[in-house]
Structure 1
Amino acid sequence: MMTELKISTDASELIGPDGQPNLVRLLEAWSTATERLQRTHETLREQVRRLSDELEIKNRELARKNRLADLGQLASHVAHELRNGLMPLTLYTSLLRRRLSDDDGSQDVLDKIETGLTALDAIVNDLLHFTSDRQPRKSLFDARELIGEVLDSIRPQLEAQGIYPALDIPLGIRLHADRSMLHRAILNIVLNALDAMPDGGEL
């Protein structure tokens, strides 16, 4: 808030009875004006400092948004390139599985390949989600059903590694969240667990 500067210019206060300047009153008026001017100057300087700080903060925020935008474009490009490469790999793996259906050793290798492809696909989905800047779309859904879908999507990998999921969730538990976001989050957790269980076991 600006400090209002008021200086008295009433001649009757500055001129003595004899018609001569009242030096004491003149000095007092000068001192008062100087003090008020100094306060006004300090107030203005404080306002300039505050506005400069606000401008610096906004500039940093703008620079950060620009960097995030550039990063988002790069992530989107990488994600699409990865997805373009994953699609034929997934198709070829499926074709090989059918052709080598009687070869148990080859099936084990293909299971491991599919595990890696699933993990890469999850990374691609995360990158695309990062670049979409999508707001969560919450809905009610069954917790056991969601986790069951996650486990079904990687069932071959679980069986190939000898991992047996133990689902300990009471019936009727419903969640209010973004289903697709939570699906990706749980899938990432499970895939990390697979990496940490090379000898199999109970998940």
Structure 2
Amino acid sequence: MTEMISETKQNGISSEAIEQLESVFKAYNETTNRMYQSYQQLQSEVVRLRQELEHKNEQLERKSRLAALGEMAAGMAHEIRNPLGGMQLYASLLMRDLAPQSSQYGWAMKISKGIQNMDLIVNDILTFTQDQACEKECIPFGSLLSSVLDYIRPRITDKHIAMDESGVDSRLRVRVDGPMMQRVLTNLILNAVEACGEGGVVRIRAAESREDPEYRIRISVADTGSGIPPELMGRIFDPFFTTKDTGTGLGLAIVHRLVDCHGGLITVTNTENGGAMFTIQLP
């Protein structure tokens, strides 16, 4: 375009016409640049929306799968609970009629304890499958965390685990259902303690976040363990899935359910230094 203007000057065109021509070319260039920038922005938005759609589809698929599984599990839980009540009654009658010093009394006590453990499992299944009434209130996160840590302190002490709470905003207040969020934090921190092993570190972070306008609060629990194998990442919140020798595999499934009840999001990643990090985002 510059060459065309130079040629125009050589042909004796008036300076006023040349200025008008330069203005036209300048406006054309600016318009072209704006159109290109709009195109780039549109491309980025298409990529973002496609990723968001894939994420929503994954969530929908998971909810459909869990709904079917939950319906089946709820039916099983009720069928199991009915005979458990009778078994517990007969075990109690045996313990009442036996001398506390006898070996039979000890056997009856073990039976009773086993029934109680089975009942706890049934309760977990029902917690996972039933609709949860989320009664939110504004709570200082620090007091919520202190209650959880006080409750699990013996487990932390036994394994000589160091708790790093330096990333917790002392002024942070969260709008949550207190008992539900206590259960979420208890489960995540205990999992982190077990993953660390002797002398590990559990890092807890909690603060307001502006990374996503949909979620105002970000809470994370990270450990210094070996992390989660990539092939298991997609199953970590599935009910009855566990890599432990003990447990029902319902802990993280219930955590996911309770966070979802708050309108929140929970994800898991492996940290750069090894170990896993669970991140909760809340509105």
Higher relative contact order (CA 8 A, sep 6+): 1
Q: Which one has the largest radius of gyration?
A: 1
Higher strand share: 2
TMscore range, shorter length:
0.3 to 0.5
